[in-house]
Amino acid sequence: MKEYILRIQRLQERLRQSQLDGCMITQNVDLYYFTGSMQTGYLFVPSEGEAVFFVRRSVVRAQEESAITVEALGSFRSFGKRLAEVFGALFQQAAGSPKLKFAAEFDVLPVQQLLKLQNVLPNVEWADGSTIVRELRMIKSASEIAYIKEAARVIDLAFEHSLSILKPGVTELELMASIEQFIRLNGHIGLMRMRGYNQEVITGMVGAGEAAATPSYFDGPAGGRGLSAAVPQSASRRPIQANEPILLDVGCCIDGYVIDQTRTVVMGNLPDDLVHAYDTSERILRSVEEMLKPGTVCERLYMHSLLMAHEAGLSDHYMGFGDDQVKFLGHGIGLEIDELPVLAKGFNYPLQPGMVIAIEPKFTFPQRGVVGIENSYAITDTGFEKLTITREGLIRA
């Protein structure tokens, strides 16, 4: 319970620094992060004083779970009046003066919902608080990292299990289903959450040969063919064959927290140029690891990886191919798979202790496949801790 209170206090400190009077949290994952409950409602955090979680449903369950005071929301039409009653001093202070200024998560708040809030709180000016929230969540506590470690343990067991069923003719879907069943029985919640608009991820991407290199709307270096145009990513019904790269880019979510890892597998042998590309991905990872310490700027890691890919003669294949290349090396993970920081150009965050980052140098070859590796790391006071425990190397099944 104490950890949630500290999170609220850190949010309040950021609100005061930004001259904001309060923050309205509405998104499920953010509600869970700040309260310990994912029930439907509105968490209002004043810049000073006690936060209150106004819950539509289930109030009973929220009262059992939440570290923050819970009240029934009641009629939304009277929500503005309720806030004025509960936070009387805040609203009285603003009477006859400029509007109160509240933050909200504009990156995930639907326009319709914002309009409703504006309607019930006409004397409030709304500001984008999404960066504040995401930057707070960017730094993980020891307990958060422990959940991610448990997810890493489970996905490692699942990976070894998947190799035991892999043989020529097994379909991508069968392999993915085997992994999903294994991790589900070991506590995986059944999904991997993403914050990005119109972005979804199943349990990851399992793909072989040219199917893995099929481009997709998904913002990653390997999309996968998927089952149909309605699910245009990850595993298809394509049989996996010998002597082709098999990409296992899979995750696991335990108690809300995710691990993200990739391994490349082959039944037999790969052509020399694909082996060279895989070896380059490991060299990039090892070189980037040497730079994983507090103070290193995220952009620098990405630019360093671009230089190494260029020196290996693989720039055209790095992190995708052609117009479908993605412009990052890695990303933060936690309650969502696409958290801050991003290892990309223009992201000038210095690494800080508590950041957890997935780093994924990969190479895409159209009509042939994708090779690469991905590990997840926690930044420490002196460097990093590798959270991924699955064995590395080009794995021959």
Task: Name the β-bridge partners of 386.
Answer: 377
Model pLDDT, residue 171: 98
Element spanning 70, H or E:
strand 69-72
pLDDT tens for each residue of 150-179: 999 999 999 999 999 999 999 999 999 999
Average pLDDT of the chain is 96
pLDDT at 327: 97
Average pLDDT of the segment spanning 251-267: 97
Region 297-309: mean pLDDT is: 98
Residue 361 pLDDT > 80 = yes
By the 8 A CB rule, do 175 and 165 touch?
yes
Distance CA 151, CA 186 (A): 9
Specify the range with the lowest mean pLDDT, choosing from 93-102, 109-118, 183-192, 290-299: 93-102
Reported as a pLDDT band with limits 50, 70 and 90, residue 395 is very high
- Note the pLDDT of residue 203: 87
Which residues does residue 204 pair with via DSSP β-bridges, in sequence order?
250
Instruction: Please say if the pLDDT value at position 94 is more than 70.
Output: no
Q: What is the per-residue pLDDT for 202?
A: 82
Q: What is the three-class DSSP state of 289?
A: helix
* pLDDT recorded at residue 335: 98
Residue 114 pLDDT: 97
* 211-220 pLDDT per residue, tens: 999 998 888 8
- Please report where in the chains the tokens 């309040």 appear, as a residue: 12
Residue with tokens 């993605």: 326
Q: Dump pLDDT digits (tens) for 261-280.
A: 999 999 999 999 999 999 99
- 377, pLDDT greater than 70: yes
Residue among 379, 104, 360, 393 nearest 249 (CA): 360
Average pLDDT of the segment spanning 69-80: 96
Inter-residue contact 226 to 234 (CB < 8 Å) = yes
- pLDDT band (50, 70, 90) for residue 96: low
- Provide Rg for the chain, Cα atoms: 23
Q: Sign of the C-alpha dihedral, residues 199, 332, 274, 241?
A: negative
Question: How many angstroms separate the CA atoms of 152 and 158, rounded?
Answer: 10
Mean pLDDT value across residues 113-137: 97
Task: Give phi and psi for 11, each to the nearest 5.
Answer: -65, -45
**91 or 380, higher pLDDT:** 380
pLDDT exceeds 70 at position 191 = yes
Residue 292: the pLDDT is 98
Tell me the pTM.
0.96
Distances (CA, A) of 164 to 14, 28, 160, 161, 183: 50, 38, 7, 5, 15
Q: pLDDT grade, residue 67 (50/70/90)?
A: very high
Residues above pLDDT 70, as percent of the chain? 99
